[in-house]
Amino acid sequence: MNKNECICNTVGIVVVILLILGTGVSTILLSSVYAQPTATLGEPFLVEQGQITGQKEIGPDRTQFTYSSNGTLNGNIEITGTGNFVSVSKDDNQAFDQGQGVISIKDTGETANYTFIEVDNATEEGKLVFLGAAVYNTNSTGELSFLNNVLEIFKGEQDVESGNFVSTSWIVK
């Protein structure tokens, strides 16, 4: 499989996951004619708190954002994160975002890169609710090695006025 086929397959999987999450379903339903088993996401592997650190209008309905975060990986590994994304505004307070970032272990500096897509919706309470998926890549042979070629799904909420956000992530197996 060449790189373009891999990217297309990954994007296809991510779109399906986003569609499932976008309906508000908290479990993934696997349907067939004779049975309807379900699978849950399990425990999150990453919980982050962060803030939007910059934004720049780059075109009609297009804004580029930068962010930084702190979080806990697998319940006990302290990480920092940075990244950027481009947000394309849609009707009805919705947007589609695409970006990339890096997480680093605070103690060792070990890193993992990721690319992501997300959809978000502004609420009347001044919050931005977002759902998305990310694919990780790392050359790490240490604590982050498990993230190489891993797909995650995430959800979060941002306070629009302050730019502060919280995000919770699960690995898709």
Please indicate, yes or no, if residue 23 is contained in any of the structural domains. Answer: no
In a domain, 32, yes or no: no
Domain CATH number, residue 60: 2.40.160.20
Q: Is the pLDDT of residue 1 over 60?
A: no
Question: Above 50 in pLDDT, residue 25?
Answer: no
pTM summary value: 0.78
Task: Specify if 132 maps to a domain.
Answer: yes
Residue 153: C-alpha distances to residues 97, 104, 109, 166, 173 (Å): 14, 19, 24, 14, 11
Domain that holds residue 154: 42-171
Specify if 53 maps to a domain.
Answer: yes
In a domain, 37, yes or no: no
pLDDT higher than threshold 70 for residue 15: no
The pLDDT score that the predictor gives to residue 6 is 46
Whether 7 is covered by a domain: the verdict is no
Residue 34 lies in a domain: no
Please name every residue paired with 99 in a beta bridge, in sequence order, or none if there are none.
85, 116
